[in-house]
């Protein structure tokens, strides 16, 4: 007889012995199934709860701060990108965050650009070195949100941010804004220019610089906008701004060196057109250069940067805790300490929580009240105009 | 059998170059292919000639003109001065240590390009540079008052020559070594003057090497990015800088246009090779 036939006869014989019939077999099967289901329910419930905790909630207010911190501490690290320590006081913000919550911050590529931040999200997807949080200019924030790079999140104070400064869907929020200003190294230049027209004076020959080219630097593009506002242009028409810089170049006052903190301190670029928070911070960083900041009264242009969370970042809880920290009073006041205007500035002023010392360190509020922001469509139009006209008129 | 033995030897040899081919594919051919295909793609993934057509429009046409002009000038001047310097250091009358010193310095200078070089030149020839201050105070002559600026195309050419001339020296030294003394002696024993020797013997022998070195210098200058960017902050339009604006800036964001510009660079270099190959054949006809 074949092997299998032997086994079959053996099985049938045993079946006969135990007097198992079909009905008994079926009943035993049902009991076993019910038992297994009941026993597995706590395990299933536990797995479901762990999965729920693996995905942070959509709103900051859904959990208490202690729960946020507990979850974030389990991740232990936060990956940031392109945050120079002397830009709007990010150095102190990062160290305060680490000291307060015990979460290490690993800051990658401090001098990176917004394009590199979005590209890091794309290329490092799934990598533990991918950035968790981003600080990008508005056009890149829009592009990233539309491309699906960012996660939706509403901090506790999301509703208090002005409508024009946030994405309604929750993909990004403005973090701080500043205006275009002149940073002057008074050890080299004794007469501080107060308006855009002043820059054309012959005493400033070979002394005026931008923070890079408006084709690649957000701050330089803001310089063009502000010059346009002061010279008969508008937010929708930056041509006069480009013409102004062409005039500045032909007068010999404009040098195309990119202004860095080092060139300002060394006197290579004694008059720099840059963000007010940067110029004011350099004033404190380089006391020997006696850098004074003046905001030109005839053209006040402001722009904000945007905070976003990487949808595929490796530390989702720490990223959201970082945002909660930034939009708390403490975080916003640290940005104010860095001479920038945080997004919740108006709300905090109304609630009278802003220390007088911080507002006194900034230039007068009267100048800031004249600030103009460009809309996304005005921004796009300006970029196109600059891309075609700047190389022709100001470049070589 | 003999054929069997030869056939068996070949595959093993190819195995030896396999790592190199893999490396070249991963880091040279694959990225180049991605760039070339990306230049013809639009955002939706379809094919389009728009990006390449834009290259003939204003800012990009000037960028290509500037890049080619700077590259030709620095390659030409670099070739001439490099050749003269190298010959001066290698010919018999010169002490041996001159050649050794020059070669060592050239090895460092040829690779010194980039932001440090730009910073060094700003500190030397900038508006408040050391040499500028010296000339203004001691010689009473401020170059910036007379239209000179190191932050212009001229400035870029001067800075590029700093690494082009040493590169030429390094590349042409073996060719000068190949000029045997016996030829010089034979020519002068037949009554040739120095000028006749060079015109009929020396330069024709060296021409293939000089041409190759020129093409190398052209490519080196054409693709230099960090030096020009560090010097002018992007205000002089050059093609690599424009690519940087579109791929990694804070304002413009158009990767396909950047790839189209890169494709344009490949086309220019290919045209250069097309010009070079028949010239090279003509120059080396004496050795065939």
Query: Over the stretch B86-141, which tens digit does the pLDDT of each residue have?
Result: 999 998 888 999 999 999 999 999 999 899 999 999 999 988 889 999 999 998 88
Mean pLDDT of all residues belonging to chain B: 89
CB contact at 8 A, A333 and A92: no
Q: Which two tokens stand for residue B261?
A: 């510009």
Question: Under an 8 A CB cutoff, do A392 and B62 touch?
Answer: yes
| pLDDT of B232 higher than 60 | yes
Rounded-to-integer distance, Cα B189 and Cα B107, Å: 38
Q: Which two tokens stand for residue B170?
A: 């390094």
Q: Quote the pLDDT of residue B97.
A: 93
- Give the angle subtended at the CA of B183 by the CAs of B182 and B187, to the nearest 5°: 115
Q: What percent of chain B has pLDDT over 90?
A: 55
Compute, in degrees rounded to 10, the torsion defined by CA atoms A257, A258, A262, A264: 70
Rounded-to-integer distance, Cα B35 and Cα A181, Å: 40
Identity of the residue in A115, A210, A383 whose CB atom sits nearest the CB atom of B247: A115
Residues of B in contact with A392 (CB under 8 A): 58-59, 62
Q: Look-up: residue for tokens 């150095």?
A: A91
Q: Look-up: residue for tokens 């950047």?
A: B258
Identity of the residue in B59, B152, B233 whose CB atom sits nearest the CB atom of A391: B59
Rounded-to-integer distance, Cα A237 and Cα A378, Å: 8
Question: Under an 8 A CB cutoff, do A216 and B237 touch?
Answer: no
Give strand pairing partners of A36: none
Question: Under an 8 A CB cutoff, do B126 and A257 touch?
Answer: yes
- In terms of CA atoms, which chain B residue is nearest residue A210? B233
3-state DSSP call for residue A237?
strand
Question: Under an 8 A CB cutoff, do A255 and B234 touch?
Answer: no
Q: What percent of chain B has pLDDT over 70?
A: 96
Q: Look-up: residue for tokens 């728009």?
A: B50
- Give the angle subtended at the CA of A224 by the CAs of B117 and A272, to the nearest 5°: 50
Provide the 10 A C-beta neighbour count for residue A132. Answer: 26
Question: Under an 8 A CB cutoff, do A256 and B247 touch?
Answer: no
Rounded-to-integer distance, Cα A297 and Cα A197, Å: 10
Question: Under an 8 A CB cutoff, do B248 and A113 touch?
Answer: yes
Among the four given CATH numbers 1.10.3720.10, 3.55.40.20, 3.10.100.10, 2.60.120.560, the one describing domain B58-287:
1.10.3720.10
Report the residue of A118, A204, A206 to disrupt the B interface, i.e. the one with the largest count of B CBs within 10 Å: A206
Q: What is the mean pLDDT of residues B5-24?
A: 78
Chain B contacts to A (CB-CB under 8 A): 57-59, 62-63, 66, 122, 126-128, 144, 149, 151-153, 232-237, 244-245, 247-253
Q: What residues of chain A score a pLDDT lower than 70?
A: 1-2, 17-21, 40, 43-54, 396
Q: What is the mean pLDDT of residues B152-166?
A: 94
Instruction: Answer whether A251 touches B (CB < 8 Å).
Output: no
Question: Under an 8 A CB cutoff, do B245 and A383 touch?
Answer: no
CA distance B111 to chain A (A): 23
Instruction: Answer whether A221 touches B (CB < 8 Å).
Output: yes
Identity of the residue in B232, B235, B253 whose CB atom sits nearest the CB atom of A115: B253
Residues of A in contact with B63 (CB under 8 A): 391
Report the residue of A142, A255, A305 to disrupt the B interface, i.e. the one with the largest count of B CBs within 10 Å: A255
Rounded-to-integer distance, Cα B278 and Cα B265, Å: 21
Q: Look-up: residue for tokens 């208490």?
A: A64
Q: Look-up: residue for tokens 């722009």?
A: A303
- In terms of CA atoms, which chain B residue is nearest residue A141? B250
Instruction: Answer whether A191 touches B (CB < 8 Å).
Output: no
CA distance A255 to chain B (A): 7
Q: Look-up: residue for tokens 């077999």?
A: A25
- Give the angle subtended at the CA of A349 by the CAs of A347 and A352, to the nearest 5°: 115
Instruction: Provide long-range contacts, Cβ within 8 A and 24+ apart, for A67-73.
Output: A68/A317, A68/A320, A68/A321, A68/A324, A69/A101, A69/A321, A71/A317, A71/A321, A72/A101, A72/A103, A72/A315, A72/A317, A72/A318, A72/A320, A72/A321, A73/A101, A73/A102, A73/A103
Rounded-to-integer distance, Cα A225 and Cα A390, Å: 13
Provide the 10 A C-beta neighbour count for residue A134. Answer: 28
Q: Look-up: residue for tokens 């030096």?
A: B227
Residues in chain A, overall count = 396
Q: Is the dihedral of CA B184, B187, B192, B195 positive or negative?
A: negative
CA distance A258 to chain B (A): 5
pLDDT tens string B160-213: 999 999 999 999 999 999 888 899 899 999 999 999 999 988 898 999 999 999
Identity of the residue in A140, A392, A396 whose CB atom sits nearest the CB atom of B153: A396
Residues of B in contact with A395 (CB under 8 A): 62, 235-237
Residues of A in contact with B232 (CB under 8 A): 256-257
3-state DSSP call for residue B91?
coil
The crossing angle, in degrees rounded to 10, of helices B153-177 and B58-90 is: 40
Spell out the domain ranges in chain B.
58-287
Please list, in sequence order, all residues whose beta carbon lies within 8 angstroms of the beta carbon of residue B225, skipping any fewer than 6 positions away.
B240, B241, B244
Give strand pairing partners of A179: A302
CA distance B231 to chain A (A): 7
Q: Quote the pLDDT of residue B288.
A: 65
Residues of B in contact with A215 (CB under 8 A): 234, 245, 249, 251-252
Q: Which two tokens stand for residue B174?
A: 């073996």
């Amino acid at each position: 007889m074949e092997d299998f036939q032997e086994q079959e006869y053996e099985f049938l014989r045993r079946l006969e012995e135990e007097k198992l019939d079909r009905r008994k077999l079926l009943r035993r099967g049902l009991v076993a199934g019910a038992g297994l289901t009941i026993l597995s329910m706590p395990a299933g419930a536990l797995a479901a709860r762990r999965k729920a905790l693996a995905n942070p909630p959509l709103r900051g207010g859904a959990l208490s701060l202690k729960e946020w911190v507990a979850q974030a501490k389990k991740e232990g690290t936060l990956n940031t990108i392109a945050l120079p320590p002397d830009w709007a006081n990010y150095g102190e913000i990062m160290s305060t965050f680490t000291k307060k919550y015990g979460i290490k911050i690993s800051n990658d590529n401090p001098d990176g650009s917004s394009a590199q931040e979005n590209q890091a999200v794309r290329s490092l997807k799934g990598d533990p070195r991918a950035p968790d949080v981003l600080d990008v200019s508005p056009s890149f924030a829009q592009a990233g949100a539309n491309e699906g790079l960012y996660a939706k999140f509403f901090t506790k104070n999301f509703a208090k941010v002005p409508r024009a400064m946030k994405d309604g869907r929750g993909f990004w929020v403005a973090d701080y804004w500043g205006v275009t200003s002149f940073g002057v190294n008074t050890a080299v230049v004794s007469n501080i220019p107060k308006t855009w027209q002043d820059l054309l004076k012959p005493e400033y020959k070979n002394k005026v610089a931008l923070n890079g080219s408006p084709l690649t630097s957000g701050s330089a593009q803001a310089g063009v906008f502000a010059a346009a506002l002061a010279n008969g242009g508008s937010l929708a028409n930056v041509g006069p701004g480009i013409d102004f810089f062409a005039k500045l170049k032909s007068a010999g006052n404009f040098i195309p060196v990119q202004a860095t903190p080092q060139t300002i301190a060394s006197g290579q670029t004694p008059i720099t057109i840059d963000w007010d928070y940067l110029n004011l911070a350099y004033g404190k960083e380089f006391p020997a250069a006696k850098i004074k900041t003046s905001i030109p009264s005839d053209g006040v242009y402001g722009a904000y940067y945007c905070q976003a969370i990487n949808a595929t970042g490796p530390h989702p809880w720490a990223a959201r805790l970082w945002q909660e920290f930034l939009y708390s009073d403490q975080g916003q006041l640290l940005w104010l300490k860095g001479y920038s205007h945080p997004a919740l500035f108006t709300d905090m002023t109304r609630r009278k929580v802003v220390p007088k010392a911080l507002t006194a360190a900034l230039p007068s509020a009267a100048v800031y009240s004249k600030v103009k922001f460009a809309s996304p469509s005005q921004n796009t139009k300006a970029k196109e105009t600059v891309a075609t006209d700047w190389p022709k008129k100001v470049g070589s | 059998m003999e054929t069997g033995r030869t056939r068996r030897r070949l595959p093993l040899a190819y195995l030896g170059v396999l790592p190199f081919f893999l490396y070249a594919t991963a880091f040279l051919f694959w990225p180049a292919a991605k760039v070339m295909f990306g230049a013809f793609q639009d955002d939706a993934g379809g094919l389009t000639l728009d990006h390449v057509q834009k290259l003939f429009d204003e800012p990009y046409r000037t960028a290509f003109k500037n890049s080619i002009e700077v590259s030709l000038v620095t390659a030409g001047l670099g070739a001439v001065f490099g050749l003269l310097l190298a010959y001066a250091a290698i010919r018999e009358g010169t002490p041996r240590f001159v050649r050794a010193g020059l070669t060592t310095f050239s090895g460092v200078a040829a690779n010194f390009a980039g932001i440090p070089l730009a910073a060094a030149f700003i500190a030397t020839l900038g508006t408040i540079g050391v040499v500028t201050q010296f000339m203004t105070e001691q010689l009473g002559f401020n170059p910036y008052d007379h239209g000179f600026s190191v932050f212009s195309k001229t400035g870029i050419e001067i800075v590029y020559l700093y690494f082009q001339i040493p590169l030429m020296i390094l590349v042409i030294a073996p060719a000068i070594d190949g000029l045997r003394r016996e030829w010089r002696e034979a020519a002068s024993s037949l009554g040739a003057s120095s000028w006749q020797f060079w015109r009929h013997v020396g330069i024709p022998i060296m021409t293939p090497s000089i041409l190759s070195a020129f093409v190398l210098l052209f490519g080196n200058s054409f693709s230099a990015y960090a030096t020009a960017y560090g010097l002018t902050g992007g205000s002089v339009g050059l093609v690599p800088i424009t690519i940087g604006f579109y791929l990694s800036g804070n304002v413009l964001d158009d990767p396909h246009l950047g790839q189209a510009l890169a494709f344009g660079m490949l086309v220019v270099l290919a045209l250069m090779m097309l010009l070079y190959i028949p010239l090279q054949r003509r120059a080396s006809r004496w050795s065939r």
